[in-house]
């Protein structure tokens, strides 16, 4: 069965608590109004969002033998994601994150890498990947078995099969940054990152400098997520757009960037122009921040397009 996109990388269960504006005293108990579990991880959320928009997606990743694994498999299946290449590693627990969400929607994370650390080059079934139009890596810096030269080799092979390639970065708590992605960059068609992460990965500061650096390796397009300031995009032909964010009140910003990647890739696989791809990505992010959880507020392509056309943009 042909797929539009195959993603690989990070999946986790997000245990979300809101609001957390200050920590309780050590050894004390605080009652909170919201404590929920949601699908997390850039590769998993992007795949789920693509399916919610009407595309077909598969996910390659690892989980442990535990309740978190049962949850993420069921959640991905419910969204329509092909999970036949989600494998179990009994030596690791499933990845999970405690997400402390402030009243303003800002998040603080406590993350356990878990089975994501066990994903390796050997887990990439190229026969499965070659069904897709795009192969997307979500998770540099917290997929140590793929970071660096392994993903460079994988992306080179995938491109040789005629499949487009894409990457979305993750914050590197170890401070290594650029070496995680260096080998993959010459073999990517789309590069996506947040502004804060991209500054550290590239050593550049302004959005223009960052995307020019990323495009210098031969990518078709670079997408820089600016959070409340929207998105900045540029392609190798030199077309550039700064698209303001939508004027919405954030409830929880978890997964908004991952959802934006899914939205952009939906447009990309359907041949949309750069600006319209960016607008759908922005809309996916704008919908996501209005509810708890990554991308679960995205109901359909029709609903996302209506939001895109009818919702007011923030003033630049």
What pLDDT sits at residue 252? Answer: 85
pLDDT digits (tens, 9 = 90+) for 4-28: 999 999 999 999 999 999 988 999 9
pLDDT digits (tens, 9 = 90+) for 79-121: 999 999 999 999 999 999 998 988 887 888 898 999 999 999 9
Q: Is residue 254 very low, low, confident or very high in pLDDT (cuts 50, 70, 90)?
A: confident
Distance CA 185, CA 188 (A): 5
Distance CA 298, CA 48 (A): 10
Q: Answer whether 0.85 is exceeded by the pTM.
A: yes
Nearest partner of 261 among 311, 193, 204, 316, judged by Cα:
193
What is the pLDDT averaged over residues 240-264?
Answer: 94
| Alpha carbon 295 to its chain's center | 10
Cα–Cα distances in angstroms (integers) from residue 123 to residues 35, 120, 213, 251, 295, in the given order: 34, 5, 30, 36, 26
pLDDT digits (tens, 9 = 90+) for 113-138: 999 999 999 999 999 999 999 999 99
Cα–Cα distances in angstroms (integers) from residue 166 to residues 15, 46, 61, 152, 187, in the given order: 28, 12, 16, 12, 9
The CATH code that applies to domain 5-21+33-142+161-176+249-310 is 3.40.1190.20
């Amino acid at each position: 069965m042909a797929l539009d996109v195959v993603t690989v990388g990070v999946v986790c269960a997000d245990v979300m608590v809101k609001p957390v504006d200050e920590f309780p005293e050590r050894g004390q108990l605080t009652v909170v109004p919201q404590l929920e579990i949601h699908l997390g991880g850039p590769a998993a959320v992007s795949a789920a969002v693509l399916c919610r928009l009407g595309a077909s997606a598969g996910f390659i990743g690892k989980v442990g033998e535990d309740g978190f694994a049962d949850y993420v498999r069921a959640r991905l299946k419910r969204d329509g994601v092909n999970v036949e290449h989600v494998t179990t590693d009994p030596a690791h627990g499933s990845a999970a994150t405690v997400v402390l969400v402030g009243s303003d929607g800002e998040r603080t994370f406590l993350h356990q890498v878990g089975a994501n650390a066990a994903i390796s080059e050997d887990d990439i079934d190229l026969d499965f990947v070659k069904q897709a139009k795009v192969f997307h890596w979500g998770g540099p810096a917290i997929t140590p078995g793929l970071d660096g030269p392994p993903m460079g080799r994988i992306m080179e092979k995938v491109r040789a099969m005629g499949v487009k390639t894409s990457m979305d970065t993750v914050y590197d708590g170890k401070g290594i940054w650029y070496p995680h992605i260096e080998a993959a960059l010459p073999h990517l068609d789309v590069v996506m990152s947040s502004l804060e992460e991209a500054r550290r990965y590239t050593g550049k500061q302004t959005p223009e400098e960052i995307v020019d650096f990323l495009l210098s390796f031969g990518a078709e397009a670079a997408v820089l997520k600016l959070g409340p300031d929207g998105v900045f995009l540029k392609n190798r032909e030199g077309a550039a757009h700064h698209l303001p964010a939508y004027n919405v009140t954030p409830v929880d910003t978890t997964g908004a960037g991952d959802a934006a990647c899914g939205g952009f890739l939906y447009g990309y696989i359907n041949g949309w122009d750069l600006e319209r791809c960016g607008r759908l990505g922005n809309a996916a992010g704008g919908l996501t921040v209005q509810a708890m959880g990554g991308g679960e507020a995205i109901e359909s392509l029709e609903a996302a397009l209506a939001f895109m056309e009818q919702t007011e943009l923030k003033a630049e």
